[in-house]
């Protein structure tokens, strides 16, 4: 572990201290948003060392890759926990598909944002109801839409967003994951560098942009689903 701390230039200690602070301050009113990326498996491992009773939730859009469901099961088995799923409203999904089609998100930015709203943003609002803070795996290195994130922000609804891994590199994540023998989403072994819905995610088209495989048909400035609109504190 000492070698790992040295490798990460103190990032592990800093992230753990941040987690301890907010997990204690908002005990019972804080939750981790998990999409089963390497960032999330690292955060889950850290949180389990601090407060294993912390709530962890995921948004199941209904279009996730099978590999994501497999690691979901592995994490629950490893830590003896249950991750709370939030699903999109059935009526909203049916109405949207009737309007734009089953794969209408490919044909306009407006359609894609509507799909993200129905399948992600609305479930997130339910997940964060009565919460004062949520923990995310956002990192500055992930692309131009995230290069200015802060370790502590405020989302559009006034809920604190904690980003303990903001300054971590992908190499830091791999080092931690390997050191602690964490389960890894199989999509990484297939060349993916960002994990999302199956029809909207593929192997990155730009090796210097880890999120270039997300919504690859769109301009890089639009590569967000709307979950991470922020306000600086």
Provide the residue range defining the domain that includes 85.
2-232
Per-residue pLDDT for 146 more than 50? yes
Residues marked active site are found at 225
Mean of pLDDT values over 202-221: 77
Per-residue pLDDT for 56 more than 60? yes
Q: Judge whether 39 and 137 are in contact, CB under 8 Å.
A: yes
pLDDT number for residue 7: 39
Per-residue pLDDT for 175 more than 50? yes
Mean of pLDDT values over 102-126: 95
What separation in angstroms does the CA of 25 have from each of 28, 132, 160?
A: 9, 10, 12
What separation in angstroms does the CA of 109 have from each of 26, 175, 183?
A: 37, 37, 34
End-to-end CA distance of the chain: 33
Count the Cβ atoms, other than its own, within 10 Å of residue 197. 21
pLDDT number for residue 232: 42
Total tally of structural domains belonging to the chain? 1
CATH of the domain at 161: 3.40.50.620
Give the number of C-alpha atoms closer than 13 A to the C-alpha of residue 26, restricted to the C-beta side: 20
Quick one: 13 exposed, middle or buried, by C-beta within 10 A (0-12, 13-18, 19+)? Answer: exposed
Q: What is the pTM of this model?
A: 0.86
Grade residue 73 by pLDDT with cuts at 50, 70 and 90: very high
Per-residue pLDDT for 9 more than 80? no
Mean of pLDDT values over 116-144: 93
Mean pLDDT rounded to a whole number for the chain: 88
């Amino acid at each position: 572990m000492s070698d790992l701390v040295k490798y990460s230039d103190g990032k592990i200690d800093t992230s753990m201290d941040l987690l301890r602070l907010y997990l204690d301050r908002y005990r019972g009113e804080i939750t981790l948003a998990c999409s089963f990326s390497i960032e999330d498996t690292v955060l889950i491992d850290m949180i389990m060392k601090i407060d294993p009773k912390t709530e962890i939730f995921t948004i199941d859009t209904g279009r996730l890759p099978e590999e994501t469901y497999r690691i979901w099961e592995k994490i629950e088995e490893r830590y003896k926990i249950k991750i709370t799923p939030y699903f999109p409203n059935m009526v909203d999904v049916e109405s949207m598909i009737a309007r734009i089609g089953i794969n209408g998100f490919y044909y306009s930015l407006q359609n894609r944002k509507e799909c993200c709203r129905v399948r992600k943003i609305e479930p997130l609002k339910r997940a964060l109801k009565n919460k004062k803070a949520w923990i995310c795996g956002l990192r500055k290195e992930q692309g131009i839409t995230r290069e200015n994130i802060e370790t502590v922000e405020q989302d559009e609804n006034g809920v604190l967003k904690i980003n303990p891994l903001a300054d971590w590199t992908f190499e830091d994540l791999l080092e931690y994951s390997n050191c602690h023998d964490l389960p890894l989403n199989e999509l990484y072994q297939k060349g993916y560098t960002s994990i999302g819905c199956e029809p909207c995610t593929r192997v990155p088209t730009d090796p210097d942009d880890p999120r270039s495989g997300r919504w690859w048909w769109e301009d890089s400035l639009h590569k967000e689903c709307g979950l991470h609109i922020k306000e600086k504190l």
